Chain A
Amino acid sequence: DGGITQSPKYLFRKEGQNVTLSCEQNLNHDAMYWYRQDPGQGLRLIYYSQIVNDFQKGDIAEGYSVSREKKESFPLTVTSAQKNPTAFYLCASSIAQGWTFFGQGTRLTVV
């Protein structure tokens, strides 16, 4: 089945550690995105990529990094520089006209 797969579903991290969230899509979409969701905040854009080997910062990129070496994959690294990383992270991909599809999300908790 076509879709977006995020892993892991739940992730715990100690303060000061970097962690990488995986996102894979088999929809053949060119564009991929990472959003962060906090209670009462809606979805905020972290990074996005429209083509392989290219990506742009979104509204809240500080403390995060990404790579886009393959069309299917857009991993997100939450670095120790992110001051408040506990959140729900959603990966998405899209085709033209704004049709955007989401993965099931990764809930990251800093312990």
Chain B
Amino acid sequence: EDKVVQSPLSLVVHEGDTVTLNCSYEVTNFRSLLWYKQEKKAPTFLFMLTSSGIEKKSGRLSSILDKKELFSILNITATQTGDSAIYLCAAPPGGSNYKLTFGKGTLLTVNP
């Protein structure tokens, strides 16, 4: 059975802190790993990672994949209150369908 595990499940930090969110996976015929940010409603896409060791970056957010150790991390530097959200990690299994297996998410709270 495909599995995606995120840690920690929740995290409280102060503005300006740097945070690292973890995602480990066991997915049949792994192809890619996705990170989403969910504030109030729809998860919004952050990154898709397919190659090991290549960092993807968008502003203060960055993510990297380690296919040997089967995990990914999402880093947020200089956190702001607007970064408060649930961060979801997901992976589609191999084959012809693209349904995602999600982790439980990390609830990040950034306090001023």
Contacts and interface: CB of A to CB of B under 8 A. Distances in A.
Nearest to A31: B98
Interface stretch (A14-22, A64-72, A78-86, A93-101): A93-101
Interface of A: 31, 33, 35, 40-45, 48, 50, 58, 90, 94-105
Contact of A99 (B41, B48, B91, B103): B48
Interface of B: 6, 9, 31-32, 34, 41-45, 48, 50, 88, 90-92, 96-105
B87 to A, nearest CB: 11
A100 B96 contact: no
Contact of B92 (A42, A90, A98, A104): A98
Contact of B88 (A40, A43, A58, A105): A43
A13 B90 CA distance: 31
Contacts of B103: 42
